[in-house]
Structure 1
Amino acid sequence: MSKRLRKLLIISGALFALGLLINSLTNRGTCSYYGFQTDRETKYAAFVGCMVKVSGNWVLRSELRAVQ
Structure 2
Amino acid sequence: MGIEWLKPGVFFGSILFALIGVLVFWISFLVVDKLTPYDLWGEIVKKQNMALAIVVGAMCIAIGMIVAAAIHG
Total equivalences in the alignment: 47
| Residue equivalent to 2:8 | 10
Q: Distance in 2 between matches of 1:21 and 1:12?
A: 14
State the structure with bigger RCO (CA 8 A, min sep 6), 1 or 2.
2
Q: Give me the TM-score of the superposition, normalised by structure 1.
A: 0.53
Gaps of 5+ in 1: 1-5, 43-51, 63-68
Percent identity over the alignment? 13
Bigger proportion of residues as strand: 1
Bigger proportion of residues as helix: 2
RMSD: 2.8
Q: Distance in 2 between matches of 1:39 and 1:61?
A: 19
Q: Distance in 1 between matches of 2:30 and 2:37?
A: 10
Task: Report 1:4-43 matches (<5 A).
Answer: 9-40=7-38, 41-42=40-41
Gaps of 5+ in 2: 60-73
Q: Give me the TM-score of the superposition, normalised by structure 2.
A: 0.50
